[in-house]
Amino acid sequence: MLELNHSKGSSDISNDEDDNSTNNSKHDFKVTPWEVEGEIDYNKLIAQFGTQPITSEIIERIKQVTGEVHPMLKLQYFFSHRDLDWILNKHEGGESFYLYTGRGPSGMVHIGHMMPWLFTKYIQEKFGSKLLFQLTDDEKFLQTQDRSREEIGHYTYENILDIIAVGFNPDKTKIILDTRHIQHLYPIATEIAKRITFSTAKAVFGFSNSTNIGMIGFPPIQAAPCFLPSIIENKPTPVLIPAAIDQDPYWRVTRDVAERMGYYKPAQIHSKFLPSLGMVGKMSSSKPETALFTIDEPEVIDKKVSAAFTGGQATVALQRQLGGNALGCPVFWYLRYLFDTERQSDERLLKCSSGNLLCGECKSDLSKESQKFLGEFKKRREKAKDVIAEFMFDGAPYEK
Ligand code: TRP
C-alpha cells in the first residue's frame, strides 16, 4: 500500500523541518471541538493530544475479528486511538463493549459527517456492539448567539433521518437527544462536573472569560454517555468512541475522572476530516457548495463535483506533460476514501501523476459514484421517517 496523507497534498510543506511549533505560518492549524482550521498535520496532532497511532499490529488484531481490513483503516482515515488495544483485549476475553458517537445538529449532514458513522455501523455489525448515539442540541444552541431553538429542532429531525439511514441495527442502537433525555444524563454529568475544575476546562477546551457559562458547563453532558452503558448494564462496561479527532478534548477530561468514579476509561478511535471539495488541507467551515449533502439532488452533486478544486494543471497539454498532483486533489481523496478500491486508487494516482489521466475523468467518476451512493441513501432516509420512535432512547416519536 502507498503511504499517503491527504493533509500533505501540497508540496510546499513536504520538506519542512520539524520545528515543534504549530504557530509557524506554514503549518498553522487549529483543532478544537468548535473550530477546525488550517492545514492539519495529523502526526503533530497525535503528539499534541497524546494519542496513539493505529499500528499494523492493531489492524491485524481487528482483522482477526472482521476477516478483512476496512478501507478507512487501511487508508488511514482512522489514524489514531486511545486504548483500542484494551478494547480488543476485552473483546477477546469475551466481554462486549458499547459504541458511542454523536452529532451536533447545527445543519444538514454531509458525506464528511457520515464517514465515522459508516465505520461505526461496520464495527457494530462485526463486533455485535450496542450503540449510543448522542444528539447535542443543547451544545449547538449554546455555541452561538444566532441559533434559535426552532432551527436546532429542525436540524435535529433531519439529522435523525440521516443517522437511521446509515443502517444501524435498530435492536442495538439508541439515539439520545440531550434536551429530551437529560434525566438519564444529568445524574452522571453532575458527578463528572464536580471533578473538573474551571482551570482544567479552560486549558483543555480553550474557554475564556467571554465564553458563555452554558458552554463552560456543557462538556460533562457529552461525557455522560461514556458511563451510561455501565449504568444500563449494571456493571463496568467498556466503551469505544469512533469520532473525528476534534472531539478528543472531551474524552481527555472524561478519562481523567473515570476511574475515580468507578468506571472504565472510554476508548477512542479517531478519524481525520474529509477535505472540502474546495481545496485539500484547508478546512472550510460549512461552505455548502464545497460539500456533498445527503439531500443533494443528482444535478446539484454533479454541479458541485464539476466545480471542485483539483490537483490538475491549467491546461490539458500541461497536464499531459507534467502530470497532476493527486495528493493535493480533493476529488482523488473522495474517490479513494469512499468509492475506489485500494488498487483502483493506487492506479489512479499513478495515471494522474504521469499525465495519463485528465481531471474530467476523475470528476465524472466521483459524480457518478456519489449520485448512486446518495440516491440509495436518500431512499433509506425516506423510510427512516416511519421508524424514528424505535431508535429513540425513550421509544417515543420525534415530530418534525
Ligand atoms: N459534539 C459533537 C458535535 O458537535 C457531537 C457529539 C456528542 C459527539 N457526542 C459525541 C461526536 C460522541 C462524537 C462522539 O458534532
Cβ contact 38:282 at 8 Å: yes
> Is any ligand 1 atom within 6 A of the Cβ of residue 247?
yes
> Is any ligand 1 atom within 6 A of the Cβ of residue 120?
no
Q: Which CATH homologous superfamily contains domain 288-384?
A: Tyrosyl-Transfer RNA Synthetase (1.10.240.10)
> Is any ligand 1 atom within 6 A of the Cβ of residue 136?
yes
Distance (Å, whole) CA 282 – CA 7: 8
Question: Residue 4, Cβ neighbours under 10 Å: how many?
Answer: 17
Atom of ligand 1 nearest to the CA of 116: 13
State the distance from the centre of ligand 1 to the C-alpha of 101, rounded, in angstroms. 6
Distance (Å, whole) CA 275 – CA 329: 9
Question: Residue 395, Cβ neighbours under 10 Å: how many?
Answer: 9
CA separation, residue 187 to residues 29, 123, 139, 183 (Å): 37, 29, 18, 7
Give tens-digit pLDDT for 181-232: 999 999 999 999 999 999 999 999 999 999 999 999 999 999 999 999 999 9
State the distance from the centre of ligand 1 to the C-alpha of 240, rounded, in angstroms. 13
Query: What pTM value is reported for the model?
Result: 0.93
Distance (Å, whole) CA 228 – CA 235: 10
Q: What is the pLDDT of residue 361?
A: 97
Cβ contact 274:337 at 8 Å: yes
State the distance from the centre of ligand 1 to the C-alpha of 303, rounded, in angstroms. 30
State the distance from the centre of ligand 1 to the C-alpha of 6, rounded, in angstroms. 23
Cβ contact 294:378 at 8 Å: yes
> Is any ligand 1 atom within 6 A of the Cβ of residue 243?
yes
Atom of ligand 1 nearest to the CA of 225: 9
Q: What is the pLDDT of residue 2?
A: 60
pLDDT, the chain, mean: 92
Q: For ligand 1, pick from 98, 99, 103, 179 the residue to mutate: most ligand atoms within 8 Å of CB.
A: 103
Give tens-digit pLDDT for 349-385: 999 999 999 999 999 999 999 999 999 999 999 999 9
> Is any ligand 1 atom within 6 A of the Cβ of residue 102?
yes
> Is any ligand 1 atom within 6 A of the Cβ of residue 241?
yes
State the distance from the centre of ligand 1 to the C-alpha of 103, rounded, in angstroms. 5
Give tens-digit pLDDT for 255-273: 999 999 999 999 999 999 9
Q: What order do you get walking across the sheet with 52-53 strand by strand?
A: 52-53, 78-82, 267-271, 239-244, 98-103, 131-135, 173-177
**What is the CATH code for 24-273?**
3.40.50.620
Q: Residues 312, 315, 318, CA angle at the centre, nearest 5°?
A: 80
Q: Give nearest CA residue, ligand 1 atom 9.
A: 102
> Is any ligand 1 atom within 6 A of the Cβ of residue 103?
yes
The pLDDT tens digits along the chain (400 residues) read: 566 666 544 332 233 333 333 333 445 788 889 888 888 899 999 999 999 999 999 999 999 999 999 999 999 999 999 999 999 999 999 999 999 999 999 999 999 999 999 999 999 999 999 999 999 999 999 999 999 999 999 999 999 999 999 999 999 999 999 999 999 999 999 999 999 999 999 999 999 999 999 999 999 999 999 999 999 999 999 999 999 999 999 999 999 999 999 999 999 999 999 989 987 655 555 688 899 999 999 999 999 999 999 999 999 999 999 999 999 999 999 999 999 999 999 999 999 999 999 999 999 999 999 999 999 999 999 999 999 999 999 999 998 8
Three-class secondary structure of residue 78 per DSSP: strand
CATH 1.10.240.10 residue window(s) in the chain: 288-384
- CA torsion, ordered 196, 197, 200, 202, to nearest 10 deg: 120
Q: Which residues pair with 262 in a beta bridge?
A: none
Q: Select from 123, 110, 34, 108 the least CA-distant residue to 78.
A: 123
State the distance from the centre of ligand 1 to the C-alpha of 243, rounded, in angstroms. 7
CATH 3.40.50.620 residue window(s) in the chain: 24-273
Which H or E run contains 374? Answer: helix 359-384
Q: For ligand 1, pick from 100, 155, 240, 247 the residue to mutate: most ligand atoms within 8 Å of CB.
A: 247
Q: Give nearest CA residue, ligand 1 atom 10.
A: 102
Q: Select from 43, 49, 28 the least CA-distant residue to 246.
A: 49
> Is any ligand 1 atom within 6 A of the Cβ of residue 123?
no
Q: For ligand 1, pick from 32, 113, 134 the residue to mutate: most ligand atoms within 8 Å of CB.
A: 134
Q: What is the pLDDT of residue 39?
A: 82
